[in-house]
Structure 1
Amino acid sequence: MNTKNSTNSASSILTVLFLMFLVVMNLNGQTTEQRLKIASNNKNIELASFKSNLVSDYEMKRIQLKEVAKLNNWKIKETLANGKKIELQEIGEDGSPLYYETYSDEAGLVSRASTLNTNGMLGLHLDGDGMQVGVWDSGVALENHVEYATRIKIADDQSEVDAHATRVTGSIISTGHKKEAKGVASMASVVSHDWTRDKIEVTEAAADGLLLSNHSYGIKADRVPDWYFGAYTKVAQDWDKIMYNAPYYLMVSAAGNAQKSRDNESPTYGTTTDGFDVLLGFTLAKNGITVAGANSKIDGNGNLKSADVSAYSSFGPVDDGRIKPDIAGNGGSVLSTDSSSNTSYNTSSGTSMATPGVTGSLLLLQQYNEELYGSFMKAATLKGLALHTADDVDAQGPDYKMGWGIMNAKIAAEVLYNKDFTSHIAEELLENGETFSLTVSAEDNETLIASISWTDLESAYVNRGELNNSTAALINDLDIRITQNGKTFLPWKLNPAQASSAATRGDNKVDPFERIEIPNANGTYTITVTHKGELQNNTQDFSIILSGVMMTTCSIEAPEQISLEKTEISSVDLTWDATTDGLYEIQYKEVHQQEWSTEYITINNFAWNGLIVDNTYSFRIRTFCSQNVASEYSDPVTFIFQGEETVLETFNTLSIDSEIPFSVYPNPAIDEIQLNIKTTDSTVFRILSTSGVELKMDSATNSRINVSDLPTGLYVLQIQDFDVNKSTKFYKY
Structure 2
Amino acid sequence: MDCKIPTWATGTFTSLTFFFFATILIYGQSESQKELIRSSYNQNAITDLISELEAEQKTKVSKLQQFQSKGWRTMEKFQDGTVIQLKDIGTDGTPLFYTTLNDPSRQVSRAHTLYTDGLLDLGLDGTGLDVGVWDAGVVLTTHQEFDGRATNGDGSSEVGLHATLVTGNLISSGIKPNAKGVAYGAKAISHNWTRDKIEVAEAAANGLLLSNHSYGIKSDRVPDWYFGSYIRVSQDWDKIMYNAPYYLMVTAAGNSQKSFDNDVPIYGTNADGFDLLLGFATSKNGLTIAGANTKIGSKGELEEARIAAYSSLGPVDDGRVKPDLAGDGSTILSTSSQTNTSYDSSTGTSMAAPGVTGSLLLLQQYHEQLYGTYMKAATLKGLALHTADDVDAQGPDYKMGWGVMNAKSAAEVLQQIEYNSLVKEETLNEGEAFSLTIVANGIEDLMASISWTDPEGEYINRGELNATTPALTNDLDIRITKDGETYFPWKLNPAKATSAAIKGDNLVDPYERIEIDAARSEYTITVTHKGSLKTGAQDFSIIVSGAQISNCRAEAPSGLEILSSSENSTTLTWVEAEETLFEVQYRAYGADDWTSQLLWENVFELSNLEIGISYEARIRAICTENIESEYSEEIQFEFNGLETSLYEYEAFGYDEDFQIMVYPNPAVEWLTVEAEMSNDAVYSIVTSSGNIIKSGQARGPIDVSCLASGLYVLVVQDYAGMKSTKFYKS
Fold match by TM threshold 0.5: yes
Paired with 2:557 and 2:469, the residues of 1 have a C-alpha distance of 59
1:376 maps to 374
Query: Taking structure 1 as reference, are residues 8 and 620 closer, same or farther at Cα in structure 2, changes over 3 Å only?
Result: closer
1:82-97 equivalent positions in 2, closer than 5 A: 84-97=82-95
Summarize the Cα distance change of 1:560–1:84 in structure 2 as closer, same or farther, 3 Å threshold.
closer
Cα deviation, 1:354-408, whole Å, max 9, x if unaligned, reads 1111111111111111122222111111111111111111111100111001111
Question: Partners in 2 of 1:373 and 1:363 — Cα distance?
Answer: 15
Query: Of 9, 31, 36, which aligns to 2:6?
Result: 9
Who is 2:157 aligned against? Answer: 159
Code of the aligned partner of 2:427: L
Instruction: Report the secondary structure of 2:25's partner residue.
Output: coil
Counterpart of 1:233 in structure 2 is 231
Asked if structure 1 preserves the Cα contact closer than 8 Å seen for 2:317 and 2:468, the reply is yes
1:181-580 pair list within 5 angstroms: 181-580=179-578
Question: Which residue does the alignment assign to 1:667?
Answer: none
Match of 1:723 in 2: 707
The corresponding residue for 1:602 is 600
SS at match of 2:133: strand
1:59 aligns with 2:58: yes
Distance 1:474 1:92 in 2: 21
Contact (CA 8 Å) 1:14, 1:583: kept in 2 or not?
no
Q: Are the structure 2 counterparts of residues 81 and 625 from structure 1 closer, same or farther at C-alpha, using a change threshold of 3 Å?
A: closer
Q: Tell me the CA shift for residue 171 of structure 1.
A: 0.6
| Amino acid across the alignment from 1:118 | T
- What secondary structure, in the 3-state scheme, does the structure 1 residue paired with 2:571 have? strand
Match of 1:711 in 2: none
Post-superposition offset of 1:81? 8.4
> Matches of 1:612 and 1:83 in 2, distance apart?
74
- Distance across 2 between alignment mates of 1:345 and 1:625: 47
What is the identity, as a one-letter code, of the residue corresponding to 1:444?
G
Residue pairs, 1:18-57, within 5 angstroms: 18-19=16-17, 21-22=19-20, 23-57=22-56
1:560 and 1:353 map into 2 onto residues whose CA distance is 51
**Separation in 1 of the partners of 2:349 and 2:427?**
35
Structure possessing the higher radius of gyration over alpha carbons: 2
Q: Give the Å deviation of 1:571.
A: 3.2
1:330 alignment partner AA = D
Q: Which residue of 1 aligns with 2:675?
A: none
CA distance in 2 between partners of 1:471 and 1:552 (Å) = 44
Cα distance in 2 for residues equivalent to 1:178 and 1:589? 46
Determine if contact 2:5/2:579 at 8 Å carries over to the other structure. no
Q: CA deviation at 1:188?
A: 1.2
Whether the 8 Å CA contact 1:508–1:514 is kept in 2: the answer is: yes
Whether the 8 Å contact between 1:15 and 1:583 is mirrored in structure 2 is: no
Higher relative contact order (Cα pairs below 8 Å, separated by 6+ residues): 1
Counterpart residue number, 2:74: 76
Deviation for aligned residue 1:465: 1.6
Give 1:204 deviation, angstroms: 0.9
Partner letter of residue 67 of structure 1? Q
Contact 1:66-1:76 within 8 A present in 2 as well: no
**Distance in 1, Cα, partners of 2:49 & 2:8:** 46
Q: 1:11 to 1:381 in 2, by over 3 A?
A: closer
Instruction: Answer whether contact 2:137 2:156 (CA < 8 A) is retained.
Output: no
Displacement, 1:644? Answer: 4.9
After the TM superposition, which residues 628-647 of structure 1 pair with which residues of structure 2 at under 5 Å, given as runs? 628-645=626-643
SS of alignment partner, residue 305 of structure 1 = strand
Counterpart CA distance in 2 for 1:301 and 1:443 is: 23
Q: Distance in 1 between matches of 2:7 and 2:141?
A: 51
Q: CA RMSD in A?
A: 2.3
- Residue identity opposite 2:323 in structure 1: P
Native 8 Å contact 1:640 1:646 kept in 2: no
Counterpart secondary structure, 1:108: coil
Secondary structure of 1:196's match? helix
CA distances 1:270-322 after superposition (whole Å, capped 9, x unpaired): 11111111101001111100000111111111111111111111111111110
The structural deviation recorded for 1:590 is 3.2
Deviation of 1:593 (Å): 3.7
Partner of 1:625: 623
1:555-611: CA deviations, max 9, x gaps? Answer: 222112234445444334333211111111111233354211212112222233333
Amino acid in structure 1 at the alignment position of 2:379: T
Q: Give me the TM-score of the superposition, normalised by structure 2.
A: 0.86
Q: How far apart in 2 are the matches of 1:550 and 1:153?
A: 46
Name the CA distance, whole Å, in 1 between partners of 2:220 and 2:645.
85
TM-score by length of 1: 0.85
Q: Which residue of 1 aligns with 2:112?
A: 114
Q: How many residues align?
A: 652
Distance 2:640 2:432 in 1: 63
Per the TM alignment, residue 43 of structure 1 is displaced from its structure 2 partner at its CA by 2.1
Structure 1 pair 151–261 and aligned structure 2 pair: CA distance change class (3 A): same
Runs of 5+ in structure 1 lacking a partner? 1-6, 661-719, 726-733
1:153, distance to aligned residue in structure 2 (A): 0.7
Q: Are 2:560 and 2:708, in contact at CA under 8 Å, matched by a contact in 1?
A: no
SS in 1 for 2:439: strand
Q: Map residues 122-137 of structure 1 onto 2, 5 A cutoff.
A: 122-137=120-135
1:11 positional shift: 8.0
- Percentage of identical aligned residues: 55
Q: Is the 8 A contact 1:14 1:626 kept in 2?
A: no
For residues 609-665 of structure 1, give each alpha carbon's deviation from its aligned partner in whole angstroms, at most 9, with x where no partner exists.
Answer: 3334434333221110111111111222233333451679xxx99xxx9659xxxxx
Name the aligned partner's letter for residue 397 of structure 2: D
How many Å apart are 1:184 and its aligned residue? 0.8
Q: Distance in 1 between the 2:115 and 2:506 partners? A: 37
Q: Determine the C-alpha separation between the residues in 2 that align with 1:386 and 1:209.
A: 21
For 2:428 and 2:598, the matched residues in 1 are separated by 35
Q: What are the Cα deviations for residues 18-43 of structure 1, in whole angstroms up to 9, with x where unaligned?
A: 35624544312222222222222222
Following TM superposition, by how much is the alpha carbon of 1:223 offset from its aligned partner in structure 2, in angstroms?
1.3
Aligned residues of 2:475 and 2:529 also touching (Cα < 8 A): yes
Cα distance in 1 between the residues matched to 2:193 and 2:5: 47
CA contact (8 A) 1:168 1:216 kept: yes
Q: CA deviation at 1:722?
A: 4.1
Match of 1:729 in 2: none
Query: Structure 2 CA distance, aligned partners of 1:352 and 1:641?
Result: 67
Q: Aligned partners of 1:116, 1:294: CA distance in 2, in Å? A: 21
* Structure 1 Cα separation of the partners of residues 594 and 372 of structure 2: 26
What SS is found at the alignment partner of 1:109? coil
